[in-house]
Amino acid sequence: MAAHTMDDAQNNQENGKVSPSRGQEQSFMRERIRQLELLLREETARRERADAAVRESESDFRTLFNNVPVGLYRNTPGDRGKFIMANPAIIAMFGFESESEFLATSVADIYANPEKRKQFSAKLSATGRVIVEPLKLRKKNGELFWGAVTANAVRDEQGAIKFFDGIIEDITDRVRAREELERYKANLEQAVFERTAELMRANRELQSEIAERKRMQKRLGELSESIISLQEQERANLSRELHDELGQQLTALRLEFDAMKKQAPELAARGFAESLSGMVERITEELRRICKGLRPSVLDDLGLCAAIGALTRDVENRTGLALDIDLAPISEHIVPPRVAIHVYRVLQESLNNIVKHSHADRAAVRLEQRGEKLVLTVEDNGRGMDAARAESGGFGIIGMARRAELCHGRIALEPNAPHGVRVTLEIPLDPDSAPD
């Protein structure tokens, strides 16, 4: 804007130019005043707008301050501290009736332990900021609760702390929930600890029970081994006694009857002596058979294959069961006598069972060496054996299993396709595992 003054007009005259008239001067002044008024109005309108903006932002701040659901405050630093500002949420949080009542309370008094205020003020002054610090606080009615405080130290231009601005959130529920969780965890850990200890105790007891059972089983094994070998010895003794004592006497008796037969004058007496002699002959024959069964002397004298041959022949003759015998050549010296008697007895019991239970008319017996094993197989074509019958309370199968164990071997009784039962006895011939 071009602004001309009286001095300018004067100067123009002095510079030899023509001076403006009075009328011109007045109109110039009026124009100048009008321009100044315009400027003033613009300035006033700008100020009013700025005031309105300030009022509006103050009102926004107030609304926010009053409605925000966390406690907002401003207080002064120091051991006791004094509240300068507090929003309705913080006043309600601490159970005060009004802002003025709250502002009258010193900051230290809203701590559960007022001493803590001193520490908090010192820490905030030193660091300039604390973030979500849990503090135990006290309401107006004395009730304690947990608050999380986040605060800033506000400084003046010289750097001195003017006040603390902060927010408080009531975290009592969260703290309780965490305490509850900690308690629950501790209880759980205790329960797990106790249960583990209990399990370890039970495990120890179980281990010692297992060890005891193993000891008992071993003892039982030793016992049954000695029973079986005693039984074999007794059978051998009995067989010898019967043969030597009773056999001798029966022979003497038969000789007596033979003599009587020759000397008897009457025909009847001679016939009677003859029938008595025949009877003694049959008794002697039966006694021999019993002695053989008690202790197959052929086993000791001629070995396992010969003993099996004699046994199977005897069964065939006595029972009419047709037997296929397949004895592969086995070097007898690798089958120790203690093993041989068990193989013999297993075959004997298998044949007894076939005769007693199977209704078979044929059976096959095979003895062979497979690698380091001696294998006995007995198969029949009878009606087969179901589990119920296998558990019928007899001792034959149990005895066979025990004998297999004593030789470190194993025995299996299985169905024999298409009919009957197959008994397989396997005994290691390894000199280390085969007992002698």
Task: Report the partner that residue 429 touches, choosing among Mg ion, ligand ATP, none (CB closer than 5 to 8 A by kind).
Answer: none
Q: Name the residue number minimizing CB distance to ligand ATP.
A: 394
| 128: DSSP letter | S
Question: Toward Mg ion, which CB reaches closer, 404 or 434?
Answer: 404
The angle that helices 247-263 and 267-294 make with each other, rounded to 10 degrees, is 160
Q: Does 392 bind ligand ATP (CB under 6 A)?
A: yes
Does 415 participate in binding ligand ATP (rule CB under 6 A)? no
Q: Which is nearer to ligand ATP, 394 or 428 (CB)?
A: 394
Binding partner of 357, given Mg ion, ligand ATP, none, CB within 5-8 angstroms per partner class: ligand ATP
Do 231 and 406 meet the contact criterion of CB atoms below 8 Å apart? no
What span, in angstroms and rounded, lies between the C-alpha atoms of 425 and 378? 9
- Please state the closest distance from residue 425 (CB atom) to ligand ATP, in A: 14
Can residue 416 be called a binding residue for ligand ATP (CB under 6 A)?
Answer: no
Least distance to Mg ion, CB of residue 423, Å: 11
Encoding tokens for residue 21?
Answer: 């008239």
> Looking at beta carbons only, is 135 or 354 nearer to Mg ion?
354
Q: How far is the CB of 227 from Mg ion (least distance, A)?
A: 18
Q: Using the rule CB under 6 A, give the single segment among 28-36, 172-180, 285-293, 391-399 that binds ligand ATP.
A: 391-399
Binding ligand ATP (rule: CB under 6 A), the pick from 307, 339, 397, 434 is: 397
Q: Which residues contact 237 (CB under 8 A, 6 or more apart)?
A: none
Told to check if 396 binds Mg ion by CB under 5 A, we report yes
Least distance to ligand ATP from the beta carbon of 239, Å? 20
- Selected from 75, 87, 312, 353, the binder of Mg ion by CB under 5 A is 353
Q: Should residue 399 be labelled a site residue for Mg ion when binding is judged by CB under 5 A?
A: no
Q: Which of residues 101-130 bind ligand ATP (CB under 6 A)?
A: none
Which residues have CB under 8 Å from 165's CB, separation 6+? 72, 73, 74, 151, 152, 154
Cis peptide preceding 418, ω within 30 of 0 = yes
Strand partners, 369: 374
Place of tokens 């396709």: 417
How many other CB atoms are found less than 10 A from the CB of residue 177? 11
- DSSP lists the bridge partners of residue 377 as 366, 424
Neighbours of 6 (CB within 10 A): 11
Select the span of 25-33, 120-128, 223-231, 390-398 touching ligand ATP (CB under 6 A): 390-398
Amino acid at 370: R
**How many Å separate Cα 98 from the centre of its chain?**
62
Binding mask 344-383 for ligand ATP (x = CB under 6 A): ---------xx-xxx---------------------x-x-
Rounded CA-CA distance 214/317 in Å is 46
Q: Within 10 Å of residue 164's Cβ, how many Cβ atoms?
A: 25
Contact 175, 148 (CB under 8 A): no
Paired strand residues for 102: none
The site partner of 385 among ligand ATP, Mg ion, none (C-beta below 5 to 8 Å per kind) is ligand ATP
CA of residue 242 relative to chain centroid, distance? 65
**Binding-site member from 78, 114, 309, 396 for ligand ATP (CB under 6 A):** 396
394 binds ligand ATP (CB under 6 A): yes
Which residues of the chain form contacts with Mg ion (CB under 5 A)?
353, 394, 396
Which residues of the chain form contacts with ligand ATP (CB under 6 A)?
353-354, 356-358, 380, 382, 385, 389-390, 392, 394-397, 421
